[in-house]
Amino acid sequence: MTGERVPIGRRVAYLRVRRKLSQQTFADRLGKSKSWVDKVERGVRSLERLSTIREVAAVLRVDAATLLGHDARPAEVAERDEGVARIRAALSTYGMTAGRDASPDRLAQAVAHAWDTYRHARYPQLMEQLPALLTDVQRGQARDPRAGRAVVVDAYRVAAALLTKLDEASLGWLAADRAMAAAAGDRVLLACAAVQLGPVLRASARARSVLMAAAYRVAPRDSDSGTPQELSLCGTLLAQAALTAARAGDGRVAGDLLDEAAEMAARVGDGHDHCRTAFGPAAVDVARVVAAVERGDGAEAVARHEAAIAGDGWRWLPLEHRAAHLVDAARAYLMVGDAERAAKALARAERLAPAEIRHRPTARALLAQVTGHPGAAARLASLARPSAID
| DSSP codes of every residue in 289-327 | HHHHHHHT-HHHHHHHHHHHHHSGGGGGS-HHHHHHHHH
CA distance 313 to 84: 33
Instruction: Provide the pLDDT confidence category of residue 127 given band limits of 50, 70 and 90.
Output: very high
Average pLDDT, the chain: 87
Does residue 42 carry a pLDDT above 80? yes
Whether residue 62 contacts residue 15, with contact meaning beta carbons closer than 8 Å, is answered with: yes
Which is it for the CA torsion 73, 75, 78, 80, positive or negative? negative
Does residue 390 carry a pLDDT above 50? no
CA distance 98 to 244: 42
CA distance 381 to 384: 5
CA distance 151 to 332: 37
The predicted-structure confidence for 136-146, as pLDDT tens digits, reads as follows 998 888 777 77
Distance, C-alpha 276 to centroid of its chain: 14
Supply φ then ψ for residue 221, to 5 degrees.
-65, -35
Q: What value, to the nearest 5°, has the Cα angle with vertex 293 and ends 307 and 176? A: 105
Whether residue 274 contacts residue 188, with contact meaning beta carbons closer than 8 Å, is answered with: no
- 3-class state of residue 33 by DSSP: coil
CA distance 287 to 308: 10
Ramachandran area for residue 2 (φ above 0: left; ψ -120 to 50: alpha; else beta) = beta
CA distance 149 to 142: 12
Does residue 160 carry a pLDDT above 90? yes
Of the listed ranges 1-5, 170-174, 255-259, 285-289, the least confidently predicted one is 1-5
Does residue 74 carry a pLDDT above 80? no
Name the CA dihedral angle for 132, 77, 13, 31, rounded to a multiple of 10 degrees: 40
Does residue 235 carry a pLDDT above 50? yes
Which is it for the CA torsion 142, 201, 255, 312, positive or negative? positive
